[in-house]
Structure 1
Amino acid sequence: MRYVVLIAYEPGAWEAADEAGRQEYFDAHHAFEQFVDEHGRRLESAALSDADLATTVRHREDGTAVVSDGPFVELVEQVGGYYDVELPDLDTAIAAAKLLPRSYTVEVRPTVRIEGYESR
């Protein structure tokens, strides 16, 4: 099964962490990666810039697109990164997610194939 693991965090937590705290983040990510490598495979991963650098595209009912900077609401947490992984089942994906830093909120979401649609 393919899963996307979304990582949410409180803005400023990384900047506020001391060297030992940052090493704990690194160690947890390495533990997650090693677990996934042993039970499946990592397809892709990336850290994301903060939400204040986001650009949002919304469509109006008349079909025009409105482009704006940043999010519309003040967020306590924001998505800060993701892993795209293949693992045998949801229980294994949850076990992997539990290895990530405890300060994160982690969402594990299976991907779906949409019949008739092929990415180009």
Structure 2
Amino acid sequence: MSEPWFDVNTFGTMYGIIGGGVGGTLCGVLGAIGGVLAPRGKGRRFVLGSMALFAVAGAVQLIIGLIALASGQPYGIWYPMVLCGVILVAVMGPLIPVIRSRYAQLDQRRIDAEAIRRS
């Protein structure tokens, strides 16, 4: 095992608070915002951009965690990064196409309504 990158207990605690507490709360709020705004056609750039940002951040955490695992870092170093990365990628990744399709459905309804008005 190589020299730990950080103090294991401090890193695990801080990463749990920041990654799990703050990150999880922000993802939950973002999901609620997307659920409210997407059917109304509002905030498309913000919602989809934020979800993509969280998915990319999760992928980066996952990659760094796997590098830490491969380099022989202790469990308290690699596990929080892998856990947060897997959760972010698994939750935000599949939600992006769902929210995008809600916006597309709304756009199609607007186009259909305009066609009905003109005919």
| Fold match by TM threshold 0.5 | no
Structure that is richer in helix per residue: 2
TM (norm. structure 2) is 0.30
TM (norm. structure 1) is 0.30
Structure number with greater CO (CA < 8 Å, separation at least 6) is 1
Structure that is richer in strand per residue: 1
Point out the structure with max Rg over C-alpha.
Answer: 2
